[in-house]
Amino acid sequence: MALLNISMKVKENFDKAKKRLVLLDYDGTLVEFVPRPEKAFPTEKVLSLLNRINNKPDTRLVVISGRGHLDLERFIGHLPIEIIAEHGAMIKLNGSWRNLFDNSDSWKKVVLPVLNRFTFASPNSFVEEKQFSLVWHYRNVPDDVGFLQSRELIRILENSITSLGLKLIDGDKVVEIISNKIGKGSAIKNLINENKFDYIISIGDDKTDEEMFQELSTNKKAETIKVGRGPTVAKHSLENVKQVLLFLEHLMENNKN
């Protein structure tokens, strides 16, 4: 019922709008989580949906993800769409990637040994190095062990990274360290300020998406949709990836404009 109510309300407004913006997270929104992040390729259904949205007149589609740009390039880089990677640090526009921030990564020499120590102590966990961040993944660690280790890692890092101009992202079975200047909220702020969109749809599942929802919280022309359970500032919620895809399919059906 919730899916039906959201779909009907949003579709009506979407069809009436003359200049639309659609912001979509990747993992946990368009594709399911998998044990190895590099294996999270989109289905043909997802690729078709992205093309249909992108080809919709007067509609701007942006896939905005915490993923590294090389991953997103492998997954969806062949599509002629706009992509924002690493929580807003990089953007692919008109087929070319560019940095939106200076890539000063000397801090990694301080943080990486700590992550490596926790990886050694937690079998099946691993460290991912992106251009602008470091990530400790513990999805494949037994839940009780992974959670306790992640809390200890956060406790240790919280006391040292602030002076380095960094912040912690306590995500879905990941702990990520990144510049405190980078975030999805600031990434979309300029995009929205520079364009006069009369309808915005933003969908995401993780804590980093809450920054995006918060940025849009006072925008009466924006619909924000949280995927999954948990506290959120989003106006609506969907249960899972399957519901997101059904929602997007309905959005694209028999549009009048």
- Beta pairing partners, 176: 135, 169
Q: What is the dihedral of CA 41, 44, 49, 55, to 10 degrees?
A: 100
Closest to 223 (Cα-Cα) out of 240, 191, 199, 242: 199
Q: φ, ψ for residue 71 (rounded to 5)?
A: -60, -50
- 10 Å CB burial of residue 159 (0-12, 13-18, 19+) is exposed
Is residue 144 part of the annotated active site? The answer reads no
Alpha helix stretches (DSSP H) within 77-194: 108-121, 143-158, 184-193
Alpha helix stretches (DSSP H) within the chain: 2-16, 44-55, 69-76, 108-121, 143-158, 184-193, 207-216, 241-252
**From CA 233, how far away is CA 134, in angstroms rounded?**
27
Give me the catalytic one of 15, 25, 58, 144: 25
Closest to 122 (Cα-Cα) out of 151, 108, 142, 99: 142
What's the alpha-carbon Rg for the chain, to the nearest Å? 18
- Which residue numbers are catalytic? 25
